[in-house]
């Protein structure tokens, strides 16, 4: 009986695995758009699929997903190795802790890797329900005093003339919010969120805030 060289056998196994993964991707039913899931009633069972824009551990144990239709926060990573740009499918229950639409996950699946989407450029007065869950970028001047909100973080407002926007700098991000001053121009990238009645943007780390001249 003719022996198959070990390297040929290994190549065959890899080829079979690749074909199997491709078949699994074809067989996986598409998830509804994230915007559709966000529109469901609280307590609904949902499935969402998107690219990670906020990694676990940035604010808490949760992370954010985004697709072409919108974005949403997922409450926990369930010990999965999820990173920025990971493509993740989530099954769970729609919830609204502190009025922020969130998925309480029952199961997660990492389905691939992609480039994290570019932030959506928005006027400070345009941040609200239409942007919630997305990665956005705003530019404006610091309006008023910096608020020390320890142990949770720091708060400030920026305004580009279209309306003030609350910027919440979570303590876990290691951003020193006390270094900014009234009148300073900032460009801020972050998660468009909500806490209670307040619309806010949450930068993810020091590189998400670019300071202009005083």
**Is residue 1 pLDDT above 50, yes or no?**
no
**What pTM did the predictor assign?**
0.85
Does 162 lie in the same domain as 181? Answer: yes
Long-range contacts from 109-112, C-beta under 8 angstroms, 24+ separation: 110/80, 110/81, 110/82, 110/86, 111/25, 111/28, 111/49, 111/87, 112/86, 112/87
CA distance linking residue 44 with residue 54, whole number of Å: 23
Write out pLDDT tens, residues 144-194: 999 999 899 999 999 999 999 999 999 999 999 999 999 999 999 999 999
Cis peptide before 151 (omega within 30 of 0): yes
Does 171 lie in the same domain as 107? Answer: no
In this structure, is residue 82 part of a structural domain?
Answer: yes
pLDDT band at 30 (very low <50, low <70, confident <90, very high): confident
Domain extent, residue 124, equals: 120-211
Does 108 lie in the same domain as 90? Answer: yes
Does 127 lie in the same domain as 80? Answer: no
**What's the whole-number average pLDDT of the chain?**
89
In this structure, is residue 38 part of a structural domain?
Answer: yes
Look at 12-16, 25-29, 202-206 and tell me which has the smallest mean pLDDT: 12-16
């Amino acid at each position: 009986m003719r022996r198959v060289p070990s390297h040929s056998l290994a190549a065959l196994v890899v080829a079979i695995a690749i074909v199997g993964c491709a078949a699994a991707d074809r067989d996986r039913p598409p998830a509804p758009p994230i915007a559709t899931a966000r529109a469901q009633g609280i307590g609904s069972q949902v499935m969402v699929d998107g690219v990670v824009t906020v990694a676990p551990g940035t604010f808490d144990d949760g992370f954010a997903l985004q697709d072409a239709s919108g974005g949403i926060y997922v409450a926990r990573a369930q010990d999965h190795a999820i990173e920025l740009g990971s493509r993740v499918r989530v099954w769970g229950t729609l919830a609204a802790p502190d009025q922020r639409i969130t998925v309480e996950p029952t199961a997660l699946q990492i389905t691939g890797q992609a480039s994290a989407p570019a932030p959506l450029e928005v006027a400070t007065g345009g941040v609200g329900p239409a942007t919630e869950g997305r990665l956005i970028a705003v530019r404006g001047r610091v309006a008023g005093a910096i608020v020390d909100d320890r142990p949770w973080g720091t708060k400030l407002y920026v305004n580009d003339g279209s309306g003030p926007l609350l910027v919440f700098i979570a303590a876990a991000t290691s951003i020193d919010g006390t270094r900014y001053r009234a009148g300073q121009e900032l460009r801020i990238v972050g998660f468009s969120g909500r806490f209670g009645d307040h619309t806010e943007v949450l930068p993810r780390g020091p590189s998400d805030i670019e300071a202009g001249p005083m």
